[in-house]
A and B are shown apart, each in its own frame.
Chain A
Amino acid sequence: MVTIKRVIDYAVKIRVKPDKTGVVTQNVKMSMNPFCEIALEEALRIKESGLASEVIAVSMGPSQSIDTLRTGLAMGADRGIHVEANDSLYPLSVAKILKKLVEIEKPGLLILGKQAIDDDCNQTGQMIAGLLNWPQGTFASKVVLDKEKQVVTVDREVDDGIETLSLNLPAVITTDLRLNQPRYATLPNIMKAKSKPIKKYTPEELNVEIKSDLEIVEVTEPPKRKSGVIVSSVDELIDKLKNEANVI
């Protein structure tokens, strides 16, 4: 099972709304989160190597998330699940809903993108692993599945290099950038995807209460970077550090 999120396309120039409650999403191009694309690609490769029977794509959000699911189906997922939610969902809510879906579908492997490019939370994968009590391999740059032994070996990108973990299935993997290069959805596949099934749920049907413990207070643009100054001597540098930057 792969989760995919509909986010503002990475190439779009983001603007903060005048009332500072968020960013402008109206009339803005939305796409599948790049890390989710990588997750889906990995799942498809696992299926194509014969180690999995089915890839289910899951997306949670407003009805337009279905467009993103269709793209996932066009890439090769077999069926989709859409959980309709019009308010923004925080990682904990997503994880709780995902837990219910996992209980229904019983996948052997759960693959997510490491983070969404709109909120950069990097939490959902870790949270669902905790809720399900499954092992997790996050920031995966290589995934090797051994179906016989029911074990997956994950190379993780960590600050001091690569860490290799061996996880018993079922497990949770979150994908990092270097794992693979996602395939293009071809035109014939896009056409075929229109007839692939998408099952709809609402959080209420799944008995999950979406209660947010977080409230966005304000969204502002980062401060404009001032241009640098070339100093002409060491004395001038010391003077600036002392009197302007106040660091010595």
Chain B
Amino acid sequence: MLKFISHFLKSKSNLKSTLSNSRVPISRNFCTTPIRDSIQYDVVIVGAGPAGLSAAIRLKQLCRQNDTDLSVCVLEKGAEVGAHILSGNVFEPRALNELLPQWKQQEAPITTPVSSDKFWFLTKNRAISLPSPFNNEGNYVISLSQLVRWMGAKAEELGVEIYPGFAASEILYDANNKVIGIGTNDMGISKDGSKKENFQRGVEIKGRMTLLSEGCRGSLSEQIMKKYNLREKGGAEHQTYALGIKEVWEIDEEKHQPGAVLHTLGWPLDHKTYGGSFLYHMKDRQIALGLVVALNYQNPFMNPYEEFQKLKHHPAIKPYLEGGTVIQYGARTLNEGGFQSIPYPVFPGGAIIGCSAGFLNVPKIKGTHTAMKSDFLLHTSNGPALLFVGMLAAEAAFGAVNEGLDMNTYWDALRNSWIWEELYKARNYRPAFKYGLIPGLALSGLEHYILKGRHPITLKHGKPDHEATNAAQLHSPIHYPKPDGILSFDVPTSLHRSNTNHEHDQPPHLRLRDPKIPELTNLPVYAAPESRYCPARVYEYVAAEQNKLKLQINAQNCLHCKACDIKDPKQNIKWTVPEGGGGPGYSVM
């Protein structure tokens, strides 16, 4: 009863205090858990990525246009803005032209225009050149991590407060089940759960509007989607995913062609496994090289990391890498569900934006721009769509917070936007591949050249990724070659290059819903796929007492890619957010 009253009183006082832009701690709960400081903002954004930052920037721009001000707070679990950003990336400046038209004069890290565009079908020994269906003129090869850093600086110039190193671990609700903000992690808890010398209680960051832009499979976004049934509400199917593993190399001067773009299909993946690779030449003799593997693969012995190592030995890829060194390594999952999987993005008190909802257009090769029409089978990142989505959300949020309009206008704005139209047109490319590589290519070709999505048929996705894994007895183990230390490497060496670190003395952030399932199901039935799909070797089965194998979770290695949360056959692994500031340290990814 007391708690209800205190919540009610707090929400009333919040309304008054926000208009004065104050950030005075107003905690005081009448319960026994230690009191948390509470800080109030108008808009709270979780995740300083392209969607989150463009929403923040757009909000401040709208404030200036309307001669008002809103306090905007962006929380980022990475140690700095850009540390957890990984993407191909071929960038189309369309959305940025709208958001920050002076980006060139303001020295945005967008300096390498696309100079060539190749598309190869790989077999074990050959590369067959196919006509490139893309039109990349006017686009740039960039590092999204660098671009996001730059956007962060621009956002701060406009008065956005960005706090890296703080992980939002909890959603705060009021008595009416409306979201009123988030709570950050307690810090300084040791592995056994006891408080360490430097224990620090988390804080509550309250907002009149909360935008979740955590990226693909965001931990809070997944919670919210379940709680408010956002998939059913949007008439959406389940989301499907892929895992992208990437390296940035510094190569020989003679081999480097700034702006060269290459995509491949085929080897090393088999015809049942969707995916492909990319190789982009950036500036400063650096190239971005990666493999994207759809997570609905069936063979539990598949190891996406090892497939990537194999790729680098292909006679058409190898020459670029010889004489070069790897600068960084990383991995991240991405959405492939497209149109069919978009949930209803608005919930009481906020909205989900960016990849957390899933606006990625799979057949778009150009990461950031959602308006690309092409018949690709891979995708890299999704900048322009994310920027646009962020902008639309900001516009709706501005209306909601400033003028009391309904946030559901966001859903309407989305459906009337070019993003919706494009995603609708592209909706059948990916699902067509559930029939196999050749049928998929054929159907995609049909869609791209003739139908262009202008028909009422919408293919459904196959099984959810975690259900697609077959039992191990239906397949035989794949023999992967040993790394040679020059082109291919073992996981620890690669992991070292991701600058990943976590405070080691903290409770593992990868939680098992049922601790017995790994030894009872994952190992005997599926031959422990988590020990293969995790690109950071977090999951290892080691010999314990009585010579039985036991799961060991090396949480400190985690790259925050979320593959385990997606692919675990019994959905037993739950990815939760570790202490802020931990995780990879990407700077050129």
Asked if A196 is at the interface (CB within 8 A of a chain B CB), the reply is no
Given contacts A13-B497, A188-B37, A27 and B203 within 8 Å (CB-CB): no
Q: When the two chains form their complex, are residues B39 and A13 in contact, meaning their CB atoms are under 8 A apart? A: no
Asked if A186 is at the interface (CB within 8 A of a chain B CB), the reply is yes
Q: When the two chains form their complex, are residues B39 and A187 in contact, meaning their CB atoms are under 8 A apart? A: yes
Asked if B196 is at the interface (CB within 8 A of a chain A CB), the reply is yes
Q: When the two chains form their complex, are residues A186 and B196 in contact, meaning their CB atoms are under 8 A apart? A: no
Q: When the two chains form their complex, are residues B146 and A182 in contact, meaning their CB atoms are under 8 A apart? A: no
Closest residue of chain B to A11 (Cβ to Cβ) is B501
Closest residue of chain B to A10 (Cβ to Cβ) is B501
| Chain B CB within 10 Å, residue with most, of A9, A11, A183 | A11
Q: When the two chains form their complex, are residues A27 and B146 in contact, meaning their CB atoms are under 8 A apart? A: yes
B23 to chain A, nearest CB (A): 7
Residues 1 to 27 of chain A near chain B (Cβ within 8 Å): 9, 11-13, 15, 27
Q: When the two chains form their complex, are residues B163 and A12 in contact, meaning their CB atoms are under 8 A apart? A: no
Q: When the two chains form their complex, are residues A13 and B496 in contact, meaning their CB atoms are under 8 A apart? A: yes
Given contacts A182-B198, A183-B198, A188 and B203 within 8 Å (CB-CB): yes
- Residues in B neighbouring A27, C-beta threshold 8 A: 146, 587-588
Asked if A145 is at the interface (CB within 8 A of a chain B CB), the reply is no
- Residues in B neighbouring A13, C-beta threshold 8 A: 496-497, 499
Q: When the two chains form their complex, are residues B163 and A187 in contact, meaning their CB atoms are under 8 A apart? A: yes
Q: When the two chains form their complex, are residues B146 and A181 in contact, meaning their CB atoms are under 8 A apart? A: no
Asked if A28 is at the interface (CB within 8 A of a chain B CB), the reply is yes
Asked if A240 is at the interface (CB within 8 A of a chain B CB), the reply is no
Q: When the two chains form their complex, are residues B83 and A29 in contact, meaning their CB atoms are under 8 A apart? A: yes
Closest residue of chain B to A194 (Cβ to Cβ) is B161
Asked if B21 is at the interface (CB within 8 A of a chain A CB), the reply is no
Asked if B184 is at the interface (CB within 8 A of a chain A CB), the reply is yes
Q: When the two chains form their complex, are residues B187 and A184 in contact, meaning their CB atoms are under 8 A apart? A: yes
Given contacts A11-B499, A11-B501, A187 and B197 within 8 Å (CB-CB): no
Q: For the complex, give the distance between the alpha carbons of A197 and B379 in Å.
A: 48
Asked if B200 is at the interface (CB within 8 A of a chain A CB), the reply is yes
- Residues in B neighbouring A29, C-beta threshold 8 A: 79-80, 83, 499, 585, 587
Asked if A191 is at the interface (CB within 8 A of a chain B CB), the reply is yes
- Residues in B neighbouring A177, C-beta threshold 8 A: none
Given contacts A15-B327, A28-B587, A188 and B39 within 8 Å (CB-CB): yes
- Residues in A neighbouring B496, C-beta threshold 8 A: 13
Q: When the two chains form their complex, are residues A12 and B184 in contact, meaning their CB atoms are under 8 A apart? A: no
The A interface is mostly helix, strand or loop, or mixed, namely loop
Q: Mark A171-199, 1 if CB is under 8 A from B, else 0.
A: 00000000011111011101100000000
Residues 183 to 219 of chain B near chain A (Cβ within 8 Å): 184, 187-188, 196-198, 200, 203, 205
Residues 84 to 115 of chain A near chain B (Cβ within 8 Å): none
B219 to chain A, nearest CB (A): 19
A88 to chain B, nearest CB (A): 21
Q: For the complex, give the distance between the alpha carbons of A27 and B196 in Å.
A: 33
Q: For the complex, give the distance between the alpha carbons of A190 and B76 in Å.
A: 14
A106 to chain B, nearest CB (A): 31
Closest residue of chain A to B143 (Cβ to Cβ) is A27
Contact of A186 among B23, B37, B80, B161 (CB under 8 A): B37
- Residues in B neighbouring A181, C-beta threshold 8 A: 196-198
Q: For the complex, give the distance between the alpha carbons of A27 and B25 in Å.
A: 35
Given contacts A11-B499, A27-B588, A187 and B198 within 8 Å (CB-CB): no
Asked if B533 is at the interface (CB within 8 A of a chain A CB), the reply is no
- Residues in B neighbouring A190, C-beta threshold 8 A: 163
B40 to chain A, nearest CB (A): 12
- Residues in B neighbouring A182, C-beta threshold 8 A: 198
Residues 533 to 589 of chain B near chain A (Cβ within 8 Å): 585, 587-588
- Residues in A neighbouring B188, C-beta threshold 8 A: 184
Closest residue of chain B to A182 (Cβ to Cβ) is B198
- Residues in A neighbouring B497, C-beta threshold 8 A: 13
| Chain A CB within 10 Å, residue with most, of B39, B83, B200, B496 | B200
- Residues in A neighbouring B197, C-beta threshold 8 A: 180-181
Q: For the complex, give the distance between the alpha carbons of A28 and B25 in Å.
A: 35
A177 to chain B, nearest CB (A): 14
- Residues in A neighbouring B83, C-beta threshold 8 A: 29
Contact of B200 among A9, A12, A31, A183 (CB under 8 A): A183
Asked if B274 is at the interface (CB within 8 A of a chain A CB), the reply is no
A29 to chain B, nearest CB (A): 5
Given contacts A27-B587, A184-B198, A187-B184, A12 and B499 within 8 Å (CB-CB): yes
- Residues in A neighbouring B80, C-beta threshold 8 A: 29
Q: Mark A208-230, 1 if CB is under 8 A from B, else 0.
A: 00000000000000000000000
Q: When the two chains form their complex, are residues B39 and A191 in contact, meaning their CB atoms are under 8 A apart? A: yes
Q: When the two chains form their complex, are residues B203 and A186 in contact, meaning their CB atoms are under 8 A apart? A: yes
- Residues in A neighbouring B196, C-beta threshold 8 A: 181
Asked if B166 is at the interface (CB within 8 A of a chain A CB), the reply is yes
Q: When the two chains form their complex, are residues A12 and B585 in contact, meaning their CB atoms are under 8 A apart? A: yes
Asked if B500 is at the interface (CB within 8 A of a chain A CB), the reply is yes
Given contacts A27-B146, A29-B79, A186 and B500 within 8 Å (CB-CB): no
Residues 349 to 365 of chain B near chain A (Cβ within 8 Å): none
A33 to chain B, nearest CB (A): 15
Closest residue of chain B to A224 (Cβ to Cβ) is B485
Q: When the two chains form their complex, are residues B200 and A186 in contact, meaning their CB atoms are under 8 A apart? A: yes
Contact of A11 among B23, B161, B198, B585 (CB under 8 A): B585
Q: For the complex, give the distance between the alpha carbons of A27 and B248 in Å.
A: 14
- Residues in A neighbouring B184, C-beta threshold 8 A: 187
- Residues in B neighbouring A191, C-beta threshold 8 A: 23, 39, 161
Residues 489 to 506 of chain B near chain A (Cβ within 8 Å): 496-497, 499-501
Q: For the complex, give the distance between the alpha carbons of A248 and B203 in Å.
A: 65
- Residues in A neighbouring B200, C-beta threshold 8 A: 183-184, 186
- Residues in A neighbouring B587, C-beta threshold 8 A: 27-29
- Residues in B neighbouring A15, C-beta threshold 8 A: 327
B163 to chain A, nearest CB (A): 6
Q: For the complex, give the distance between the alpha carbons of A12 and B37 in Å.
A: 32
B558 to chain A, nearest CB (A): 13
Given contacts A9-B585, A27-B588, A187 and B205 within 8 Å (CB-CB): yes
- Residues in B neighbouring A187, C-beta threshold 8 A: 37, 39, 163, 166, 184, 203, 205
- Give 16 pairs: A residue, B residue, CB < 8 Å, sorted on A: A9-B499, A9-B585, A11-B500, A11-B585, A27-B587, A181-B196, A181-B197, A182-B198, A184-B198, A186-B37, A186-B203, A187-B37, A187-B39, A190-B163, A191-B23, A191-B161
19 further contact pairs, Cβ within 8 A, besides A11-B500, A184-B187, A188-B25: A9-B79, A9-B499, A12-B499, A12-B585, A13-B499, A27-B588, A29-B80, A29-B83, A29-B499, A181-B198, A183-B198, A183-B200, A184-B198, A186-B203, A187-B166, A187-B184, A187-B205, A188-B203, A190-B163
Residues of B within 8 A of A (CB): 23, 25, 37, 39, 79-80, 83, 146, 161, 163, 166, 184, 187-188, 196-198, 200, 203, 205, 327, 496-497, 499-501, 585, 587-588
Rank and list the top 6 A-B pairs by shortest CB-CB distance, nearest first: A11-B501, A27-B587, A184-B200, A184-B187, A183-B198, A187-B203
